[in-house]
Structures are given as C-alpha cells and as structure tokens.
Amino acid sequence: MGDPMRIRAKSSDGTTDVRVLMAHPMETGFRKDSSGKTIPPHFIKDVKATANGKTVLTARWSQAISQNPYLQFKFKGAKPGDKVSITWVDNKGDTRTDEAAIA
C-alpha cells in the first residue's frame, strides 16, 4: 500500500474539477546512487478515476512523469456529495486507492 494521496474535487455548473497529488518516487531507472549503482525504475503505470462507481478517467503513465505527480482533470455527470476515487498501480505491483467527496 503506497503513501496517501491528497484529492480535492469541486463541482460547479455540472462540471467537476478534480485535483490529485500523489506521493511516489517515480524513478526513471536512469539515475545512479552515490555508489554508482543504477537505481531501478519505480513508477506509476496505470491510473484510474471513478465517480459513483463509473470510470471517468484512465491513464497510462511512464518514467516521464515526475516525482509526486499532480493530476488535474474535469468531468461531467456528478454532483456535490458524490464520491470520487483514484487508484494507481506501479511497475512493482504496489497500489493505492483514495477517495474524496465532491465539494
């Protein structure tokens, strides 16, 4: 289970704006540590966002995404009080899911 992410979701005029800050090292696999050894790649591969059980966003990420990724997206069809849930899976099989209520 990864570290907690911060999710904020706000709805106005039918459009919900979601901002997520995820905690993840997002190692590219190109860096070397102080002893010269290459640090193995460790990055989020898949992201899924659901609202009221329906998938609203899927993303396939690579090493190109920076450390502690910040994701912002908008979608229609939810209202204040509904739950938005974000899940990520990384290349080592670790995963994290957090949810927040739409403000």
Partner 1 sequence: MKRWILAAVAVMASHAALAESSSDAIAQYRAMLADGNPAELWEAKGQALWKEPRGPRHASLERCDLGQGPGVVKGAFVRLPRWFDDTRRVQDLESRLLTCMQDLQGFDAAAIAKTPFGKGEQSTIENLVAWVASESQGMAFDLPQSHAAEKKMYEVGRDAFFFRAGPYDFACASCHGQEGKRIRLQDLPDLTTRKGAGDAFGAWPAYRVSSGQLWSMQRRLNDCYRQQRFPYPGYVSDVTIALGVYLGVNARGVDSVAPGLKR
Task: List residues near partner 1 by CB under 8 A.
Answer: 3-6, 8, 19, 21, 23, 66-68, 70
| Cβ closest to partner 1, residue 52 vs residue 66 | 66
Residue 50, SS3?
Answer: strand
Judged by beta carbon, residue 2 or residue 48, the one nearer partner 1 is 2
* Contact call for residues 103 and 9 (beta carbons, < 8 A): yes
Q: How far is the CB of 66 from partner 1 (least distance, A)?
A: 8
CB-based burial label for 51 (10 Å; 0-12, 13-18, 19+): buried
CB of 53 to partner 1, least distance (A): 26
DSSP single-letter state for residue 77: S
